[in-house]
Structure 1
Amino acid sequence: MRAPAWLPMSVRRPLRVLRRYFRLGVRRFEYASAPARRAWRRSLQLRVVALTLVASSLLVGAFGYFVAASSADILLLRAQDEVRASMDSKVDYAISQLTVHPRTKDPKLPSTISTIVIALADGDPTESGGSIVSIRAERFPEITPFTSAKVDTRQLITDDLIADVAGRRKKATQVRTATINDDTVKYLVYGTPVPTGFGQVELYYMVPLTTEDSAANQIRTTVLVTGLALVILLGVVAGLVTRLVVNPVRDAARTAQRLSAGLLDQRMRVDGEDDLALLAASFNQMAANLQRQIVRLEEMSRLQRRFTSDVSHELRTPLTTVRMAADLIFAERDEFDPAVARSAELLQAELDRFESLLTDLLEISRFDAGFAALDAEHTDLVPICERVAERLTGLAERVGVQLDLRLPDTPVIAEVDPRRVERVLRNLVGNAVEHGEGRPVEVTLAADDAAVAITVRDHGIGLKPGEERLVFNRFWRADPSRARQTGGTGLGLSISAEDARLHGGWLEAWGAPGEGAQFRLTLPIRSGDRLLSAPLPLIPRDRTPAAEPGVMGPDAAEPAVEVV
Structure 2
Amino acid sequence: MPSLVRIWRRSIQTRVVTSTILLSTLVVALTGWALLRDVASGLADSRRAAAVSEARSGFDYAQTQLDAAVETEPSTQSQALTQMVDSLTRSRGAQRTYELVLQGPLLTDDGEVPIRSSAAIQPRALPADLAAAVRAGPGTFWRYSELSLVGSGSVEPSVVVGSQLRAPGSGDTYAMFYLFSLEDQQDTLDLVRRALLLGGLAMILMVGGVAWLVSRQVLDPVRLARRIAERYASGNLEQRMHVSGEDDIARLSTSFNQMAASLQSQIRRLENLSRLQQRFVSDVSHELRTPLTTVQMASEVLYDSRERFDPLTARSAELLKRELDRFESLLSDLLDLSRFDAGAAVLELDTIDFAQVARRAADDPVLARAGITVRLVGVERPALVEADPRRIDRIVRNLLANAAKYSGSDVVEVEVAQNAESASLSVRDFGVGLSGDENIRVFDRFWRADPARTQGGTGLGLAISREDAALHGGTLQAWGRPGVGSEFILTIPKPEGSAKHPPLESVYA
- 8 Å CA contact 1:195–1:201 kept in 2: the answer is yes
Structure 1 equivalent of residue 18 of structure 2: 50
Structure 2 equivalent of residue 421 of structure 1: 392
- 8 Å CA contact 1:428–1:519 kept in 2: the answer is no
- With over 3 angstroms needed to count, the CA separation of the structure-2 counterparts of 1:185 and 1:371, relative to structure 1, is same
Structure 1 equivalent of residue 417 of structure 2: 447
SS at 1:99 equivalent: helix
Structure 1 equivalent of residue 233 of structure 2: 260
- With over 3 angstroms needed to count, the CA separation of the structure-2 counterparts of 1:301 and 1:122, relative to structure 1, is farther
Structure 1 equivalent of residue 100 of structure 2: 133
- 8 Å CA contact 1:155–1:176 kept in 2: the answer is no
Q: How far did residue 533 of structure 1 move?
A: 4.8
Q: Deviations over 1:153-196 (max 9, x none)?
A: 52543443332223322212223322367464333222222344
SS at 1:202 equivalent: strand
Structure 1 equivalent of residue 252 of structure 2: 279
Q: Deviations over 1:296-349 (max 9, x none)?
A: 111111111111112222333444454555566666777777766665555444
Paired residue for 1:191, among 162, 187, 208?
A: 162
- 8 Å CA contact 2:337–2:464 kept in 1: the answer is yes
Q: Deviations over 1:254-280 (max 9, x none)?
A: 222222221222233333333333323
Structure 2 equivalent of residue 369 of structure 1: 342
- With over 3 angstroms needed to count, the CA separation of the structure-2 counterparts of 1:131 and 1:327, relative to structure 1, is same
- 8 Å CA contact 1:49–1:238 kept in 2: the answer is yes
Q: How far did residue 129 of structure 1 move?
A: 6.5
Paired residue for 1:167, among 113, 121, 136?
A: 136
How many Å separate the matches in 2 of 1:159 and 1:440? 97
Paired residue for 2:2, among 34, 38, 41?
A: 34
How many Å separate the matches in 1 of 2:80 and 2:96? 25
Mapping of residues 45-444 of structure 1, within 5 Å = 45-105=13-73, 108-121=76-89, 130-139=97-106, 141=108, 145-149=115-119, 151-154=120-123, 156-174=125-143, 175-179=145-149, 182=152, 184-198=155-169, 199=171, 200-323=173-296, 346-385=319-358, 393=365, 399=369, 401=371, 404=374, 406=376, 408-434=379-405, 442=412, 444=414
Paired residue for 1:500, among 466, 469, 489?
A: 469
SS at 2:123 equivalent: helix
Q: How far did residue 495 of structure 1 move?
A: 0.9
Q: Deviations over 1:387-415 (max 9, x none)?
A: 5666x53x667x56467473734433223
Seq. identity, %: 36
SS at 1:192 equivalent: strand
- 8 Å CA contact 2:336–2:464 kept in 1: the answer is yes
- With over 3 angstroms needed to count, the CA separation of the structure-2 counterparts of 1:70 and 1:507, relative to structure 1, is closer
Q: How far did residue 213 of structure 1 move?
A: 1.5
Q: How far did residue 379 of structure 1 move?
A: 0.9
Q: TM-score, normalised by structure 1?
A: 0.75
Q: How far did residue 59 of structure 1 move?
A: 2.2
Q: TM-score, normalised by structure 2?
A: 0.83
Q: How far did residue 105 of structure 1 move?
A: 0.9
How many Å separate the matches in 1 of 2:407 and 2:397? 15
The residue type equivalent to 2:426 in the other structure is I
Structure 1 gap segments, 5+ residues each: 1-32, 540-559
Structure 1 equivalent of residue 460 of structure 2: 491
SS at 2:68 equivalent: coil
Q: How far did residue 421 of structure 1 move?
A: 0.9
- With over 3 angstroms needed to count, the CA separation of the structure-2 counterparts of 1:114 and 1:386, relative to structure 1, is closer
The residue type equivalent to 1:86 in the other structure is E
Q: Deviations over 1:416-448 (max 9, x none)?
A: 2211111112223344455688x9664624223
- With over 3 angstroms needed to count, the CA separation of the structure-2 counterparts of 1:478 and 1:73, relative to structure 1, is closer
How many Å separate the matches in 2 of 1:167 and 1:44? 69
How many Å separate the matches in 2 of 1:475 and 1:140? 115
Q: How far did residue 236 of structure 1 move?
A: 1.7
- With over 3 angstroms needed to count, the CA separation of the structure-2 counterparts of 1:501 and 1:536, relative to structure 1, is same
How many Å separate the matches in 2 of 1:104 and 1:369? 131
Structure 2 gap segments, 5+ residues each: none
Q: How far did residue 97 of structure 1 move?
A: 2.7
Q: How far did residue 361 of structure 1 move?
A: 0.8
How many Å separate the matches in 1 of 2:256 and 2:295? 57
- 8 Å CA contact 1:428–1:456 kept in 2: the answer is no
How many Å separate the matches in 2 of 1:146 and 1:346? 134
- Is the deviation greater in 226-235 or in 529-538? 529-538
- With over 3 angstroms needed to count, the CA separation of the structure-2 counterparts of 1:355 and 1:123, relative to structure 1, is farther
- 8 Å CA contact 2:400–2:427 kept in 1: the answer is no
- 8 Å CA contact 2:407–2:433 kept in 1: the answer is no
Structure 2 equivalent of residue 475 of structure 1: 446
- With over 3 angstroms needed to count, the CA separation of the structure-2 counterparts of 1:109 and 1:302, relative to structure 1, is same
Q: How far did residue 251 of structure 1 move?
A: 2.4
How many Å separate the matches in 1 of 2:311 and 2:62? 152
Q: Deviations over 1:18-60 (max 9, x none)?
A: xxxxxxxxxxxxxxx2222222222222222222222222222
SS at 2:149 equivalent: strand
- 8 Å CA contact 1:522–1:534 kept in 2: the answer is no
Structure 1 equivalent of residue 492 of structure 2: 524
How many Å separate the matches in 1 of 2:77 and 2:341? 123
